[in-house]
Amino acid sequence: MKRLFLMVGVISVLIMSVTASVASAYTKGQAEATADNYAQLHYTGATNGSCTASGKNKAGEAQYYCSGKYNFGANTWKINVGPYGEITYHNP
């Protein structure tokens, strides 16, 4: 009986971890919104940018490379967004 409960518990944890990792990865739209919000807060006159997928899906690494303009079009910002919404790199 204990073995059955242990097996059910382990299987439940595995299913939840797979579901959580798949469901929590950012989409391109979410990454663009995150990068745009960050740019609006940190760069004067920032415009909305666009993102390109990197093919990576590991925490702390860039899942999307995003860029746009600031200083009313005079300069380019670059922001990398990880799969969980973390900013992994930014450069004015």
> Could you tell me the residue range of the domain that residue 51 belongs to?
26-91
The dihedral formed by the CA atoms of 57, 62, 66 and 72, expressed in degrees to the nearest 10 = 150
DSSP secondary structure letter of residue 70: E
78 located within any domain: yes
Separation between Cα atoms, residue 59 and residue 46, nearest integer Å: 27
> Is 40 a member of any domain?
yes
Whether 52 maps to a domain, the answer reads yes
Please give the distance of CA 39 from its chain centroid, rounded to a whole number. 15
pTM comes to 0.70
Q: Is residue 45 part of a domain?
A: yes
What pLDDT is stored for residue 86 in this prediction? Answer: 95
- At residue 19, the pLDDT reads 46
Q: Looking at the 3D structure of the chain, how many domains does it have? A: 1
- Quote the pLDDT of residue 92: 79
In a domain, 72, yes or no: yes
Whether 21 is in a domain gets the answer no
Q: What is the pLDDT of residue 41?
A: 95
Collect the ranges in the chain with pLDDT lower than 50: 5-6, 8, 18-23
**pLDDT number for residue 24:** 67
